[in-house]
Amino acid sequence: MDRRDYAVAVVGLGSMGMGAARSCIAAGLRTYGVDINPQACRALEAAGGVAAGPDARVFADALDAVLLLVVDAAQVERVLFGEAGFAAALRPGTPVMVSATISPDDARRIHARLEAIGLRMLDAPVSGGAAKAAEGAMTVMASGPAETFEALRPLLSAVAGKVYEVGPQIGLGATVKIVHQLLAGVHIAAGAEAMALAARAGIPLDLMYDVVTHAAGNSWMFENRMPAVVSGDYTPTSAVDIFVKDMGLVTETGRALKLPLPLASTAFGMYLNASNAGYGAEADSAVIKTFAGVPLPKKDD
């Protein structure tokens, strides 16, 4: 199929979804958007999207593929099977790429519901943040039948720099993402703790950031997230409450496998504490605000 004839809907036009949708447009795919935010829908149409709006049923029968970049399993099920759900309006056999961070059990349950109405699913969590999504260079860790991978190949080529084909069983992709999120969540929490220690000791945080990012203690998450601490600007692309959800999935997975996860459990508690303190909607690096009495830069400083 010519890419210009391949039609995809990106559901969830947040920071990553908008980047992925724009990457689809740049790759020459006929791109639709689905979001309840009218401003995001207008932005996608202005960028070259065919159409965008809150109700995918309007164009569902024109689609060759669907990419779901929503927050959690509840949102996945709502957009597919809820009151305005569009799964039943898709053509039989349409592949649905579920890229929310969800549990393996959730992935299997959603797959069973899609399969029951003649649709295919790829269990395909992603990583890379808004910047990689905008570059069409996300990392995809996916599982599902080989024919579903092939049906989604134009979409995968448009949005991903690297696609890991984990295996044929739904749930394997979700499991790999959960292991990944253990590291991501712990790295942010550890970075926040390190910067809190520096602040308490009177070390300028811009200096501390520069040292770490040129030394062995650096991590991708430190380098990507700690500028918010340095600037005092906690405008979210990924919020504290996202990691409340994700680290909850990590600890639940450890419990199900009877494997203690002491670092992940501590980080989970830190995100819960930050959310409980009122920072849940701020950038995930706002977990640093729970260190009492630590002088932190403010946005207007």
Looking up residue 88, the CATH number of its domain turns out to be 3.40.50.720
Question: pLDDT value at position 46?
Answer: 98
Average pLDDT over residues 43-71: 97
Counting Cβ atoms within 10 Å, is residue 123 exposed (0-12), middle (13-18) or buried (19+)?
A: buried
Regarding whether 211 and 105 lie in a shared domain, the answer is no
Within a domain: 64: yes
Question: pLDDT value at position 200?
Answer: 97
Residue 150 domain boundaries: 3-168
- pLDDT digits 0-9 by tens, 133-160: 999 999 999 999 999 999 999 999 999 9
Q: Among 168, 190, 212, identify where a domain stops.
A: 168
Return d(Cα 66, Cα 6) in angstroms, integer.
Answer: 11
Within a domain: 113: yes
Regarding whether 180 and 159 lie in a shared domain, the answer is no
Distance (Å) of CA 267 to CA 184, 190, 238, 245, 257: 10, 8, 16, 12, 19
User: Token digits for 72?
Assistant: 């959690």
pLDDT at 300 over 90: no
How many domains does the structure of the chain reveal?
A: 2
Q: Among 168, 186, 217, identify where a domain stops.
A: 168
The residue count of the chain comes to 301
- pLDDT digits 0-9 by tens, 89-115: 999 999 999 999 999 999 999 999 999
Question: pLDDT value at position 299?
Answer: 86
Regarding whether 86 and 35 lie in a shared domain, the answer is yes
pLDDT at 261 over 80: yes
Q: Among 131, 148, 168, identify where a domain stops.
A: 168
Return d(Cα 167, Cα 187) in angstroms, integer.
Answer: 27
Average pLDDT over residues 248-271: 97
Q: Which residues are catalytic?
A: 177
Looking up residue 264, the CATH number of its domain turns out to be 1.10.1040.10
SS3 12: coil
Give 4's pLDDT tier (boundaries 50, 70, 90).
confident
Tell me the Cα Rg of the chain: 20
